């Protein structure tokens, strides 16, 4: 017997339906059928389970569809439901950057890094498993991946200083070699 969609469902059944909606929405995203995926996820919100994942995936769909305003809203809602959702923080930073709000982007990116490595939110991420209790998409190959080692502003500054120093030393070396060459040519000619 088929259940009426308006009748209450058990929590296990609700999770199964949401999981199915997430999978189908991801399939739709890969097929670039964004409206279909968005529709499935909005429908899945009625089950009131895993709302952070639903909003996160909605954000990804809106982002891929080019609707940055709705993507921002969806990522913000994901963060409201799960403040330690590192990928939602990271993707929100990307949205801010694409909309020219660089200061907010940097602030959100730093927050994502703090969450990823533990920081002010408690135990380090490696002790609690994936940040956000495993519900942040870290075990999901379809999410927009975030790796704090690739987003280390301090490391970029150190690297930049080294490159600048090496460039300066090469410049001085070339200058000295040029002067030595001019001196030798002048010595031989006169």
Kindly give the confidence (pLDDT) of every residue in the chain, 190 residues in length, as a single tens digit, with 9 standing for 90 and above: 344 455 578 888 889 999 999 999 999 999 999 999 999 999 989 988 888 999 999 999 999 999 999 999 999 999 999 998 888 999 999 999 999 998 998 899 888 888 887 654 444 444 444 444 444 444 444 445 455 545 555 555 666 677 788 888 899 999 999 888 888 888 777 6
Domain that holds residue 174: 152-190
Q: Are residues 186 and 135 in the same domain?
A: no
Domain for residue 83, yes or no? yes
Domain for residue 132, yes or no? yes
Number of domains in the chain: 2
Q: Are residues 74 and 138 in the same domain?
A: yes
Q: Are residues 168 and 142 in the same domain?
A: no
Q: Would you say 148 and 119 are in contact if contact means Cβ atoms under 8 Å apart?
A: no
CA distances from 163 to 10, 21, 174 (A): 60, 48, 16
CA distances from 47 to 117, 121, 132 (A): 32, 29, 21
- Cα(158)–Cα(76) distance, integer angstroms: 32
Domain for residue 187, yes or no? yes
Q: Report residue 83 as tokens.
A: 């403040």
- Cα(102)–Cα(117) distance, integer angstroms: 23
Q: Would you say 112 and 90 are in contact if contact means Cβ atoms under 8 Å apart?
A: yes
Q: What is the pTM of this model?
A: 0.60
Domain for residue 3, yes or no? no
Q: Are residues 125 and 80 in the same domain?
A: yes
Q: Are residues 109 and 50 in the same domain?
A: yes
Q: Are residues 129 and 80 in the same domain?
A: yes
Q: Are residues 89 and 170 in the same domain?
A: no
- Cα(104)–Cα(120) distance, integer angstroms: 19
Q: Are residues 73 and 138 in the same domain?
A: yes
Count the Cβ atoms, other than its own, within 10 Å of residue 131. Answer: 27
- CATH label of the domain that carries residue 49: 1.25.40.10
């Amino acid at each position: 017997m088929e259940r009426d969609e308006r009748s209450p469902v058990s929590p296990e059944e609700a999770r199964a339906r949401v999981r199915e909606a997430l999978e189908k929405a991801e399939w739709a995203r890969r097929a670039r059928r964004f409206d279909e995926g968005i529709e499935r996820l909005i429908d899945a919100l009625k089950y009131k389970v895993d709302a952070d994942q639903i909003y996160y995936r909605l954000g990804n769909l809106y982002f891929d569809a080019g609707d940055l305003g709705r993507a921002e809203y969806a990522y913000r809602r994901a963060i409201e439901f799960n403040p330690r959702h590192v990928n939602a923080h990271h993707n929100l930073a990307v949205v801010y950057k694409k909309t020219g709000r660089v200061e907010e982007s940097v602030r959100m990116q730093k927050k994502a890094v703090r969450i990823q490595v533990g920081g002010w939110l408690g135990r380090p991420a490696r002790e609690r498993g994936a940040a956000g209790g495993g519900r942040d998409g870290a075990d999901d190959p379809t999410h927009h991946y975030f790796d704090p080692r690739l987003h280390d502003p301090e490391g970029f500054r150190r690297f930049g200083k080294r490159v600048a120093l090496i460039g300066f030393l090469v410049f001085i070396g070339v200058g000295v070699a040029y002067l030595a060459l001019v001196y030798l040519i002048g010595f031989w000619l006169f």
